[in-house]
Amino acid sequence: MRPVAVIGVGKTAFGAFADRDLRSLAVEAIGHALADASLPPSMVEAFYLGNFAGPSFTGQNHLAPYVGLAAGLSPGIPCTRFEDACASSGAALFHAWQAVANGVYDLVLVGGVEKMTSQTTPKVAEILAGAGDMAGEGKAGATFPALFAMIARRHMHQFGTTREQLAAVAVKNHANGALNPLAHMRKNITLEQALAGKPVAEPLTVYDCSLVSDGAAAVVLAPLSRAHEFSGRFARILGIAQTSDHVALDAKTDITTFQAVRVAGEKAYRMSGLSAAEIDFAELHDCFTIAEVIASEDLGFARRGEGGPFAAAGCSAINGRIPINTSGGLKSKGHPVGATGAGQVCDIVMQLRGEAGQRQVRRHRVGLAQNLGGSGATCVVTILGAP
C-alpha cells in the first residue's frame, strides 16, 4: 500500500439552517474542500459520501450522485453513499483511503452531510433510534440518550464516575466551541448550569447531549507522492482503521468500554507506529459526555475507569496534557451525524496546519480522530500527521 495524504478540507458552519437543504450544504462543503486543495471538480476520480438518514430526514434517496453532480463532479465517475450511523463519513473516509492506498484511484473526494432540523424532536429521536436495534431496545423505548444514559449509569456504578465529571466534559467542550466560528452553539456554560439542565434520560441532561444540527464537511485524498502538486498544505494519514461490534447494547458483555473503539485504536496505532503518548491532540466522538470519557480510556489517554477524573482535572483542556475536542466537539460544534466523521478530520487538519486560530494547540504534529456509530457498533479511528 502507498501512503495517502489529505490535500484539502472544507466545512459548512454547523447549525440549524431553515433555509438550506441537504444538497446545498454538501455542495458548499465540497466547494470549500476542492478550493482548499486547488483541485477542479472535473479531476475527482471517485466520490464517497457519508450520510446516515437523508431519506428519513428529507425524503431524498440516491444521495451520492444527487450531491456529486450538483458539485460539478464528472458524470463518468462512481458516486456512492456510505451509511454506518454516526460513523457514516468516517466509513466513507476509510473506504476512500483504501482505494487510494491500493492504487485504484489517485484523487478522491469524501463528503459527509446531514440535514436534521426540519423534523420535530420526537421524530428526530425516532430516526436516530434506528441506529440501534429497533426490534429490541428501540421497541422497548430506548432513545440514543437513553442508551448512553444506561452506559453512564453502569460506568458510575463500576468506577465511581460522577455527574460533575461528566458535566466537566460539557463545560470544556462549550468553552472550546465558543472559540470556533463554525460551531453550532458558541457559548460558555458553567458546571452549575450543566448539572441543573433539563433531564433527557437520567443521569444525562441536555448539557450531556450533542446537538441536532445541519451541516456538511468534505476531505480530498491523494497519494502522498502527488500531494505537492496541489495546494501544498497537506496532512498525512499515518494510521486508519474501521471496526464493528453488536448493534444492540444488551448484546455487549461490558458496556463501560467500547470494543470497537479499542480495536480500531490498536490497529490505527500499529499502522502509524505511534502510541497514545505520542498523540498531541484528538477529536473524540462526544455524542454524549460519557462517550468522550469512555473513548479517552479506550484509546489510552486515560486509565480504565479514570476518564471522569481525567476530564475534571483539565487534562483534556486546550492547554492540558492532551487537548480533546478543541473544535467544541459534537457537544458544542454540533452533530450533523453524517458529517461528523469528515468534520473531525477537517478539524484535525486545521490544527496540524496551525490554522485553528484561538483554539490552536501548542504541539500539533500528530492528531487523532475517533468517529463512533450507534452505541459502539462502528468505529473509525484516523491518525493524521503534519507533512
Partner 1 sequence: MGQANPGNGTVYTETIVFAAPEQYVDDAPYQLAIIDLEEGGRLNARILPESGRVQIGDRVVFVELRNGVAFYARG
- Least Å distance, CB 58 to partner 1, is 17
One residue of 16, 125, 175, 276 binding partner 1 per CB under 8 A: 125
One residue of 27, 29, 67, 151 binding partner 1 per CB under 8 A: 151
Q: For the chain, state the CA radius of gyration.
A: 19
According to the binding rule CB under 8 A, does residue 59 interact with partner 1?
Answer: no
One residue of 150, 240, 368, 381 binding partner 1 per CB under 8 A: 150
According to the binding rule CB under 8 A, does residue 201 interact with partner 1?
Answer: yes
According to the binding rule CB under 8 A, does residue 139 interact with partner 1?
Answer: yes
3-state DSSP call for residue 358?
helix
Whether 202 and 191 have beta carbons less than 8 Å apart is answered as no
How far apart CA 72 and CA 30 sit, in angstroms, is: 10
How far apart CA 55 and CA 58 sit, in angstroms, is: 5
- In this complex, which beta carbon is closest to partner 1, that of residue 256 or of residue 371? 256
- Determine the residue type at 385: G
Question: Where would I find the H helices in the chain?
Answer: 22-37, 54-58, 63-70, 88-101, 121-129, 139-140, 144-159, 163-177, 191-195, 259-272, 289-298, 307-312, 329-332, 340-352
According to the binding rule CB under 8 A, does residue 199 interact with partner 1?
Answer: yes
Give the helix/strand (H/E) hosting 116: none
The cell for 11 is 466545512
Q: Which of 86, 287, 315, 346 is catalytic?
A: 86
Beta bridge partners of 112: 50, 217
Q: Is the dihedral of CA 307, 308, 309, 314 positive or negative?
A: positive
With contacts defined by CB under 8 A, name the span among 22-30, 50-58, 242-250, 319-327 that binds partner 1.
242-250
Whether 384 and 238 have beta carbons less than 8 Å apart is answered as yes
According to the binding rule CB under 8 A, does residue 212 interact with partner 1?
Answer: no
- In this complex, which beta carbon is closest to partner 1, that of residue 198 or of residue 362? 198
One residue of 41, 72, 136, 320 binding partner 1 per CB under 8 A: 136
- Least Å distance, CB 162 to partner 1, is 15
According to the binding rule CB under 8 A, does residue 198 interact with partner 1?
Answer: yes
With contacts defined by CB under 8 A, name the span among 8-16, 137-145, 169-177, 307-315 that binds partner 1.
137-145
CB neighbours of residue 259 within 10 Å: 17
Q: Which of 184, 285, 335, 364 is catalytic?
A: 335
According to the binding rule CB under 8 A, does residue 319 interact with partner 1?
Answer: no
- In this complex, which beta carbon is closest to partner 1, that of residue 155 or of residue 172? 155
Residue 209 a catalytic site member: no
One residue of 80, 154, 162, 353 binding partner 1 per CB under 8 A: 154
According to the binding rule CB under 8 A, does residue 170 interact with partner 1?
Answer: no
3-state DSSP call for residue 158?
helix
According to the binding rule CB under 8 A, does residue 187 interact with partner 1?
Answer: no
- In this complex, which beta carbon is closest to partner 1, that of residue 11 or of residue 155? 155
According to the binding rule CB under 8 A, does residue 123 interact with partner 1?
Answer: yes
254-to-5, 79, 246, 296, 339 alpha-carbon distances in Å: 36, 38, 12, 17, 29
Residue 335 a catalytic site member: yes
CB neighbours of residue 381 within 10 Å: 34
One residue of 18, 59, 75, 121 binding partner 1 per CB under 8 A: 121
Residues lying near partner 1 in the complex (CB under 8 A) are found at 120-123, 125-126, 129, 136-143, 145-146, 149-151, 153-154, 157, 198-204, 248-251, 255
The catalytic site residues sit at 86, 335
